[in-house]
Structures are given as C-alpha cells and as structure tokens.
C-alpha cells in the first residue's frame, strides 16, 4: 500500500517528507505554503487585505493582489533594465530627452531615465565605405566610366545623428557631385593614365568641403579611383587610339635613346677637333716665334759677315730644293749649254750598287760626289774642245 493511500496504519510513517511530524525532523518546505506567504507579503505592501475568513474568500483576494504585485515588479525590473546602458569604446551615446538633444555619453556604464530619455549609439572609430560608378564627361568632351570608393569616419556623433536626416545618402550624392566637377575640369588622358592619384586627392578635398558645409559630422579619410576606362560602346576605337599613343611613346623613346648615343659622340668629336685646333694653333705660334727668333739671330750674324752668311743661306736653300728634286739643271759659267743631271736615275743606280745600305745621308753624299765628278769631267771635256 502506498504511503498516501487512506486507511490501514499510521500514514505519518509512510510520508517520505515527514510533514506529519513537525516536532521531529524538518523536511522541505511546502511549496503551496511558501507561495501563500509571498502573496500575503505582496498584498500587505500594495494595500491588499490579509485573509481572515473561509477558504473561498481568502483565495480570491490573495490571488488578485499577488498578480498585481507581480505585474508591478516586472514593470519595475523592465524600467531598471532599460535605464542602464553600456557604451563600448568604439561608440558614443547621443541622449535625447523627449526628442531634444541633452548630452553625449562616453564609453562605460551609463544611466538614463527610462521612457523620457533615449540613446542613439554611434560608432566613431569604424572606417566606412561608399562606392560609386558612373559615366562622366571630361573637359575635352570625352566620356569615361569612373569607379570610385570613399573611406570615411564619424567624428561628430551629434551632427551625424541629428543635423542631417540621412548623412550617408548625402555623402553619396556629394561624392558624385565632387567627382563630376573634377572630371569635367580634366582631360581624358590624365584620368586614364597617370592622373588618378591627383584626381582622387582633389575629389577628397572637395568632398570634405561639402561634408563640412552640410554639418554631417563626417571626415573623409581617402578617395580611391579604382577604375577609369572608356565605355564599352567605344572601347574598340579607344583601344586603337591608346595603341597609337603607345607606339608614339615608343618611337619617341627610341629617338631619344639614339640621340643620347649620337650626341655624346658628336660632342666628343667636336671637342677633339677643338683640341687639335688649339694644338695646331700653339704649334704654329711656337714655330713662328722660333722662326722670328732664328731670323733675328741670323740677322745679327749677317751684319757681322754678310758674304759668308749669304753663301751659307744660298747653300742651305739649294740643299732644300735639290733634296726634293729628281732632276737638276746646272748652268755652266761662261758657256751656253746647261748641264742636265738625272738625280733619280743616279739614286736608283746608287741603291742597286749599295745593297743592304738604307742610310739617306750616305746616299746623298754619294750622289753629291758623283754629281761633282760629272761636273768636273764635263768641264774638262769642254776645255779640251776649246783648245783644239
């Protein structure tokens, strides 16, 4: 038989909690009794009547008061929960009191009045991105397709959340306006080639001016021109033009390389010619000065012995002339005939006889001796004929 079945023995011995024997071991408290005591306390706190009559009146009054108390406790808990905020390090809290700006909350645990104050949490360290890709008209009336990315941060949470209805949308419109203004003031070639960095810098400056004048609380960190190209409709013709420009640059570079090779060589030749001319100039000047000095010294000696000096000058001049002549005509004094001396033949005979001798001075001496002998022989023959 179970412990809670009626009849047959002492039920207090069968009760596992021992609630029938309060004087001895104390078991777990009765759940119904504990709930009843809590409801009585709540009724006392909120003006409810304590139960005094029969069981029906007691249960009805206590149940209504307890439910009302639970509702009040839940409402108080919710209000307390909504009044405490934790602001992260990356955020700032903008507090509005009945819709009007009141203060800005710094990072940490903060308290606000529930139902009266509301908090907008704004991230002020996150770098946000906005992208744009549009067809635009350049200054030289060409159409280019430009893709741009804007990186920005919120530096004034109050202005960002209250001054402008949609600051990020305003940023997108202002970025497009700034880009169109700068592209419309620039030719197509710089935009497509080496002018993207400069274009991004000018767009950033203009866009930041717009954001400051709009009081959006946004700071533009960087503007990247990701892509700039001709529209697809004219891409083939544009590629041909770009190819022609590349060929032009290649030809110009080749011409400059050739010029860099030829010009230094020409300058070197010109410098060499100048040096040779200067050397020739110095040589001529030195030779002239030497000749003038020799003439002065010769003139001094001539004044001392005119005849000897004249004979010496004559002999030197004749030696120079005969040294370069291959034929000699000698006018014999007192006669009508001129003597012909073939020096070239005589020199050839002398060379054939003097095998192995290549001294020019020796050949000239030998030739002079032969010429002298020939002159003496012819003079003797002439005298012999005259004596007859």
146-203 residue pLDDT tens: 999 999 999 999 999 999 989 999 999 999 999 999 999 998 888 888 888 999 999 9
What integer pLDDT is reported at residue 114 of this predicted model?
78
Does residue 215 form part of some domain?
A: yes
Distance (Å) of CA 346 to CA 60, 173, 182, 352: 170, 112, 99, 10
Residue 64: domain span:
30-81
What are the C-alpha distances in Å from 151 to residues 133, 135, 154, 164, 193? 15, 21, 11, 19, 23
Pair of tokens at residue 375? 């002159």
Q: How confident is the model at residue 317 (pLDDT cuts 50, 70, 90)?
A: confident
- My answer on whether 97 and 62 are in the same domain is no
Instruction: Note the pTM of the prediction, 2 decimals.
Output: 0.48
- What pLDDT, on a 0 to 100 scale, did the predictor assign at position 283? 93
Confidence grade of residue 116 (pLDDT, cut at 50, 70, 90): confident
Is the pLDDT at 28 greater than 70? The verdict is no
CA-based nearest residue to 31, from 45, 11, 46, 17 = 17
Instruction: Determine, yes or no, domain membership for 290.
Output: no
In three-state secondary structure terms, 94 is strand
Query: Quick check: is 256 in a domain?
Result: no
Between strands 100-105 and 117-123, the pairing is unpaired
Q: In terms of C-beta distances under 8 Å and separation of at least 24 residues, what long-range contacts does 203-207 make, across chains too?
A: 203/148, 203/175, 203/178, 203/179, 206/178, 206/181, 206/182, 207/150, 207/171, 207/174, 207/175, 207/178
Mean model confidence pLDDT for the chain: 78
Same domain, 216 and 171: yes
What pLDDT is recorded for position 377? 74
In a domain, 349, yes or no: yes
Do both 139 and 93 map to the same domain? Answer: no
Q: Distance between CA 387 and CA 333 in Å, rounded?
A: 17
- Domain final position from 182, 203, 229: 229
State mean pLDDT over 236-260.
87
Which DSSP symbol is given to 187? -
Give yes or no: residues 188 and 206 share one domain: yes
For position 73, what pLDDT does the model report? 73
> Which pLDDT does position 335 carry in this prediction?
58
pLDDT digits (tens, 9 = 90+) for 203-224: 999 999 999 999 999 999 999 9
Residue 17 has pLDDT above 80, yes or no: no
Q: pLDDT above 70 covers what percent of the chain?
A: 66
- Residue 330 and residue 358 in one domain: yes
Residue 181's CATH number: 3.30.479.30
**Cα 238 to Cα 152: distance, rounded to the nearest angstrom:** 34
Both 55 and 70 in one domain: the answer is yes
22 belongs to a structural domain: no
Domain boundary residue, one of 173, 202, 229:
229
Q: Which one is predicted more confidently, 386 or 64?
A: 386
Report the pLDDT averaged over residues 326-346. Answer: 61
Do 139 and 225 share a domain, yes or no?
yes
Q: Does residue 170 lie in a domain region?
A: yes
376 and 363 both lie in a single domain: yes
Q: Same domain for 170 and 99? A: no
Q: Hey, CA dihedral for 8, 13, 17, 21, is it positive or negative?
A: positive
Q: Which of 81, 112, 140 is the last residue of a domain?
A: 81
Please tell me the predicted confidence (pLDDT) of residue 347: 63
Q: Residue 160 in contact with residue 218, Cβ under 8 Å?
A: yes
Helical pair 55-83 and 31-45, crossing angle rounded to 10 deg: 70
Mean pLDDT of 341-369: 60
Q: Which residues contact 385 (CB under 8 A, 6 or more apart)?
A: none
Q: Are residues 134 and 219 in the same domain?
A: yes
118 and 131 housed in the same domain? no
Whether residue 223 is contained in a domain is answered as: yes
Q: State the total domains in the chain.
A: 4
DSSP 200-241: HHHHHHHHHHHHHHHT--EEEEEEEEEEEE--GGGHHHHHHH
Q: Please measure the distance between the N-terminal and C-terminal CA atoms of the chain and give it in whole angstroms.
A: 206
**Which uninterrupted H or E stretch holds 117?**
strand 117-123
Sheet holding 91-97, edge to edge: 100-105, 91-97, 117-123
43 and 63 fall within a common domain: yes
Mean pLDDT of 357-377: 63
In a domain, 59, yes or no: yes
């Amino acid at each position: 038989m179970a412990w809670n079945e009626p009849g047959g023995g002492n039920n207090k011995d069968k009760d596992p909690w021992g609630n029938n024997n309060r004087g001895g071991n104390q078991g777990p408290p009765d759940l119904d009794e504990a709930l009843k005591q809590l409801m009585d306390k709540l009724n006392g706190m909120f003006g409810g009547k304590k139960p005094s009559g029969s069981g029906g009146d007691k249960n009805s009054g206590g149940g209504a008061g307890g439910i009302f108390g639970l509702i009040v406790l839940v409402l108080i808990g919710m209000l307390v929960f909504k009044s405490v905020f934790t602001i992260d390090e990356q955020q700032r809290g903008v507090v509005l009191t009945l819709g009007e700006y009141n203060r800005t909350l710094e990072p940490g645990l903060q308290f606000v009045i529930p139902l009266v104050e509301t908090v907008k949490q704004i991230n002020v360290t996150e770098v946000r991105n906005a992208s744009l890709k549009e067809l635009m008209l350049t200054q030289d009336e060409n159409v280019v397709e430009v893709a741009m990315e804007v990186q920005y941060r919120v530096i004034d949470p109050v202005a960002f959340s209250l001054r402008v209805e949609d600051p990020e949308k305003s940023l997108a419109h202002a970025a497009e306006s700034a880009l169109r203004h700068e592209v419309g003031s620039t030719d197509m070639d710089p935009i497509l080639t080496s002018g993207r960095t400069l274009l991004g810098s000018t767009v950033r400056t203009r866009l930041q001016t717009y954001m400051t004048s709009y009081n959006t609380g946004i700071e533009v960190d960087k503007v990247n021109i990701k892509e700039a190209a001709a529209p697809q409709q004219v891409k083939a013709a544009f590629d041909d033009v770009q190819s022609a420009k590349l060929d032009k640059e290649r030809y110009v570079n080749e011409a400059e390389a050739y010029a860099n090779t030829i010009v230094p060589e020409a300058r070197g030749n010109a410098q060499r010619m100048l040096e040779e001319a200067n050397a020739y100039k110095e040589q001529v000047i030195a030779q002239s000065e030497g000749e003038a000095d020799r003439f002065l010294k010769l003139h001094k000696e001539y004044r001392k012995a005119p005849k000897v000096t004249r004979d010496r000058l004559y002999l030197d001049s004749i030696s120079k002339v005969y040294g370069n002549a291959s034929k000699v005509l000698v006018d014999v004094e007192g006669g009508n005939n001129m003597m012909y001396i073939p020096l070239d033949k005589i020199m050839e005979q002398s060379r054939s006889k003097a095998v192995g001798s290549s001294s020019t001075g020796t050949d000239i001496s030998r030739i002079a001796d032969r010429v002298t002998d020939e002159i003496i022989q012819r003079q003797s023959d002439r005298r012999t004929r005259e004596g007859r």
